Amino acid sequence: MSTFNSAAIEEFKGVWVFCEQRQGKMMPTNFELLSEGRKLADDLGCDLCGILLGDNVEGLAAELGGYGADKIYVCESPLLKDYTTDAYAKVICEVVEEYKPEAFLIGATNIGRDLGPRCAARLHTGLCADCTGLAVDMDKYKQFLRDSSTLDVDGMKWNGEDRNLKMTRPAFGGHLMATIICPRFRPCMATVRPGVMKKAPFDQAKSDACQIVKPAFALAAEDMKTEVVEVVKAAKKLVDLIGAEVVVSVGRGISKDIKQGIALAEELAAELGGVVGSSRACVDSGWITADHQVGQTGKTVHPRIYVALGISGAIQHKAGMQESECIIAVNKNDTAPIFEVADYGITGDLFKVTPMLIEAIRSAKA
Ligand code: FAD
């Protein structure tokens, strides 16, 4: 065990969020995690802090404060301009060892999924990957505080038990939700699925009150085994499912005429100002690219309107869309599980129903 993690659990205080930036642009998960982290920090009675790495990124910190951070630790160096596992893990571990947060949240983006386990291993602590729910149960802790103020509890020591972060994630192929704790080590680390936590409204007063801290760290070129030579953007524009207000998804129900099924979904999405999503069945069949996939192993969305065309509603699909504000399902089988979560269910052939929906929207607009 490292000397760091032999420190008493009570020495660890604060909820921290890794704030990811790419080429000076904030990732939306930062705001979701800070909003959720604020609730956890309030329950725990501690500070919420962000940690932001990059080159010349201090100017981005105030925005993070607007989502509830009390402090942002800003680590700047030309060596941190682009993400590399070695440099980011080294700096984060140094700062975490110095300030000892009790919980550390990271967005489960491609970068977060790489960075989180590396840091957890170095810090000799546990990480729960791909979480969809976070909570702390403070009941026992509050009882302890009550007892210790009224009883003679010489030597009685809080073991930190119920300051544990309860990290919930799908298990066994999504058939049950497991709640996991990390009782003996700190910080409790979690990567959190993008799009699951709700972003709070931006608060200018909180942003103004947010403190910027510049921690000391040592980083030299020799610490890095890789060098980013060039950042090349994907030639194809990926669909922004997570930020979309309307998602029209297709499932295996389009198999009769795949081209026509996708064209109908695109037309309906265009009428509603939305984007096209899909079930995994369509991705696995090669009918649509993986960036469209909604569900447990795809994206989690909660748009204002979610339309499911020819999707059965398997648990793994529902895991990614059931928090949508309004769900409209079209399926020819009236016992399809998608109807269990649908606000409006239409039993029928999607190739007949979808053109009628498009027409109805057009005439309503006219
Ligand atoms: P099906 O289940 O085959 O359903 C097709 C539906 O279309 C049926 O209900 C049928 O009645 C209807 N239909 C057929 N023809 C028509 C028509 N003409 N008009 C109207 N309705 C019609 N799935 C995901 O979607 N996302 C995930 O992220 C995901 N992750 C997974 C992770 C794991 C570990 C596992 C084991 C599975 C995962 N799956 C995921 C797969 C999931 O279990 C289902 O197999 C998948 O969602 C089924 O897709 P579907 O509803 O399109 O197809």
What's the rounded Cα separation, in Å, for the pair 169 and 162?
A: 19
Q: Is 240 helix (H, G, I), strand (E, B) or coil?
A: coil
Residue with CA nearest ligand 1 atom 39: 316
The pLDDT of residue 70: 97
Q: pLDDT, tens digit, for every residue of 183-209?
A: 889 999 999 999 899 999 999 999 999
Confidence of residue 148 (pLDDT cuts 50, 70, 90): low
DSSP run (H or E) holding 30:
helix 28-44
Q: What is the pLDDT of residue 151?
A: 47
More confident residue, 168 or 155: 168
How many CB atoms are located within 10 Å of the residue 64 CB? 27
Question: Residue 1 above 60 pLDDT?
Answer: no
Asked whether the predicted pLDDT for residue 363 surpasses 50, the reply is yes
Whose Cα sits closest to atom 13 in ligand 1?
A: 253
Each residue of 121-143: pLDDT tens digit? 999 999 999 999 999 876 666 67
- pLDDT of the residue at 229: 92
Nearby residues of 137 by Cβ (< 8 Å), 6 or more positions away? 162, 164, 166
pLDDT at 172: 86
Residue entry with tokens 């895991």: 319
Q: Which helix (H) or strand (E) holds 270?
A: helix 258-272
To test ligand 1's pocket by mutation, which of 311, 330, 334, 353 has the most ligand atoms within 8 angstroms of CB? 311
* Pairwise CA distance, residues 328 & 334, whole Å: 13
Candidate from 276, 284, 297, 356 with most ligand 1 atoms within 8 A of CB, to mutate: 297
Ligand 1 centroid to residue 289 C-alpha, Å = 16
What mean pLDDT value characterizes the chain? 92
How many Cβ atoms are within 10 Å of 365's Cβ, its own excluded? Answer: 7
pLDDT at 315 over 80: yes
pLDDT value at position 14? 96
DSSP string of 99-153, one letter each residue = H--SEEEEE-SHHHHHHHHHHHHHTT--EEEEESEEEE--HHHHHHHHHHHHS--
Query: How much is the average pLDDT of 171-176?
Result: 83
What is residue 363's three-state secondary structure?
helix
For residue 263, pLDDT beyond 90: yes
Residues with CB under 6 A from ligand 1: 173-174, 251-253, 256, 279-281, 293, 295-298, 310-312, 314, 316-317, 320, 330-333, 336, 349-351
CA 279 / ligand 1 centre spacing (Å): 6
Q: Is the pLDDT of residue 269 over 90?
A: yes
ipTM field: 0.99
Atom 49, ligand 1: residue with shortest CA distance: 281
pLDDT digits (tens, 9 = 90+) for 227-262: 899 988 877 778 889 889 999 999 999 999 999 999
Considering the chain, what percentage of its residues have pLDDT values greater than 70?
92
